[in-house]
Amino acid sequence: MRIVAKWGLLAVLGLALTASSNPQPAGLLGIDISAHQGVVQFEKLEVQDKLTGEWVRPHFIYIRATNGAGRLDDYFNRNWTESKTHGFKRGAYHFYQPRHDPRDQAELFVKTLGSTAGELPPVLDIEWMPSYTTPERLRADLHVWLNKVKGHYGVQPVIYTNVSYYQDYLKGYFPGYKFWIAHYSTTPRLDQHAHFWQFSDKGVARGITQNVVDLNYAVTEFFQSL
């Protein structure tokens, strides 16, 4: 597997993805996929760096498994199997729906993945703060999902969200958790808790002909600790 490290793209991406300390560039490039990408040709899969134009094999792939309490991603089983067959480091994520019971959502995720969560920690994707609940209730429910999944796999999940949602609703309420933050900028608003940075939702990839793909950097040391 080809490792993409120490890219010149980011003068702000460092060992802890900390925007304020101006660290040296370092990171691993990866993608996340779902049914939106259609049939992925994993044998051809390469991602184009937007600045250098170089085509590289993603170091990791996160794959959507489930959505809410009753919906599997239509392409999950294929993506999960094929990514493993072609030697990609993979993980699965769940798109959280606040209107559904967190226990039901966790059970669906675990049932879909089965006995293994892949080579990377499971991810909880939360992006929605609806009017029919409160931040306090939502955070309590998220902890239910996180604890149930962690209890099943023995691995602490990562929390994915965008930078505004993180700062408004999550920051400081999930001690010890690592975050995956979406912020589409060359100067990300991240802090020491961010171990993944989604820096684009318009990536171009060989092997993906339907829609664009999300591009992410992950802290090198985080992968070495797995």
Q: What is the structure's pLDDT at 25?
A: 35
Which residues, other chains included, contact 1 with Cβ-Cβ below 8 Å and sequence gap of 6+? 57, 59, 87, 88, 89
**Length in residues, the chain:** 226
Cα torsion angle, 204, 206, 6, 90, sign: positive
- φ, ψ of residue 179 to 5 degrees: the values are -120, 150
Query: Can you read off the two tokens belonging to residue 10?
Result: 């980011």
Q: Is 49 part of the annotated catalytic residue set?
A: no
Give the global pTM.
Answer: 0.88
**Active-site residue flag, 127:** yes
**Which of 71, 90, 73, 72 has its CA nearest to residue 30?**
90
pLDDT for the residue numbered 51: 63
Q: How many CA atoms does the CB half-sphere of 24 hold within 13 Å?
A: 3
Along the 226 residues of the chain, how does pLDDT read in single tens digits? 222 333 333 333 433 344 333 333 347 899 999 999 999 999 999 998 766 778 999 999 999 999 999 999 999 999 999 999 999 999 999 999 999 999 999 999 999 999 999 999 999 999 999 999 999 999 999 999 999 999 999 999 999 999 999 999 999 999 999 999 999 987 888 888 899 999 999 998 999 998 999 999 998 777 777 6
Angle of CA points 132, 136, 137, to nearest 5° = 50
Write down the pLDDT at residue 5: 31
Of the residues 54, 127, 201, 221, only one is catalytic, namely 127
In the prediction, which pLDDT does 53 show?
Answer: 77
**pLDDT computed for residue 50 by the predictor:** 65
- Residue ranges and CATH numbers for the domains of the chain are 28-224 (3.20.20.80)
